[in-house]
Amino acid sequence: MQDEKHVNWFALEKICEKPGCPVCNIVDERSERYIDNMLFEHVSDRGFRAKYRQAGGFCSRHAANLESFRDGLAVAILGVDILSTILPELIKKRAPHFKGGCPACAESARVESEFLGYLGERNEEEFISLFTASDGLCVPHYRMLVRMSRKLPRWLTDFQQNKFETLLERSKRFVEYSAWGRQEDFASLDEKDRLVWKELAKTLRGASN
């Protein structure tokens, strides 16, 4: 357990230096690694193949980069599985029904709850200073965290609340200054505040795969 904590700590420490929600970034990184690993190491793993077939492959978001994978053979093996399973249905003009969910989505959900759970239990000064130097959690991840745990550390709720409040104020100002006749006020906004709508959209949506 202790070892695992260290692994998560270091992963978060590294990712907190990047722009954007640290959990989104971890999920992105891990789901990419998961897909890569499945294609290169586990393409002949019967368990994975069965899950993949039941799901009808990865969801469109996770399948988006399959064409750019280095190994066409792995992509072909998995694709043959899917197409030969669904083709008889298609020929009969029936819509194939998939029982399982995307395996990469399942892996992302696992990584998300592992890291959110870990984050919700931190109280070390050193951790607090590294996390509060990040952009903080997006709204979907903060929402998930609040649903997971009612007893969140104060530093974390204060930090997130402050992030969201500041973002709301800056966004309101952007809207206000965009009105007719407020050109001078608008011109006084710095580059970051003129693009706050992008930050707002990203914070509300989350960016993970």
Residue whose CB is less far from Zn ion, 105 or 128: 105
DSSP per-residue string spanning 18-49: SSS-HHHHHHHHHHHHHHHHHHHHSTT-HHHH
CB of 101 to Zn ion, least distance (A): 8
Q: List the structure tokens of 152.
A: 């969140």
Which residue lies nearer to Zn ion by CB, 58 or 127?
Answer: 58
Please choose, out of 33-41, 64-72, 77-85, 101-109, the segment that lies near Zn ion by the rule CB under 5 A: 101-109
Number of residues that bind Zn ion (CB under 5 A): 11
Are 190 and 124 in contact by the 8 Å Cβ rule? The answer is no
Among 4-12, 94-102, 151-159, 173-181, the segment contacting Zn ion (CB under 5 A): 94-102
Q: CA distances (Å), 44 to each of 30, 37, 72, 76, 171, in order? A: 21, 12, 14, 12, 50
Side chain identity at residue 203, one-letter code: T
Min CB(144)–Zn ion separation in Å: 9
What Rg, from alpha-carbon coordinates, does the chain have?
A: 22
* Binding flag, residue 105, Zn ion (CB under 5 A): yes
Query: Which of 10, 71, 4 lies closest to 35, judged by CA?
Result: 71
Does 12 bind Zn ion (CB under 5 A)? Our answer is no
Q: Does 141 bind Zn ion (CB under 5 A)?
A: yes
CA distance 114 to 108: 10
130 binds Zn ion (CB under 5 A): no
d(CA 117, CA 153): 12
Q: Which of 16, 24, 111, 130 binds Zn ion (CB under 5 A)?
A: 24
- For Zn ion, the binding residues in 62-91 under the rule CB under 5 A are 62
> Closest approach of Cβ 62 to Zn ion, in Å?
4
Q: What's the per-residue H, E or C state across 178-209? A: CCCCCHHHHHHCCHHHHCHHHHHHHHHHCCCC
Q: Least separation, in Å, of the C-beta of 135 and Zn ion?
A: 9
CB of 102 vs Zn ion, minimal distance in Å: 3
- C-beta closer to Zn ion: residue 111 or 196: 111
Q: Is 167 in the site for Zn ion (CB under 5 A)?
A: no
In the complex, the residues that contact Zn ion under the rule CB under 5 A are: 21, 23-24, 59, 62, 102, 104-105, 138, 141, 206
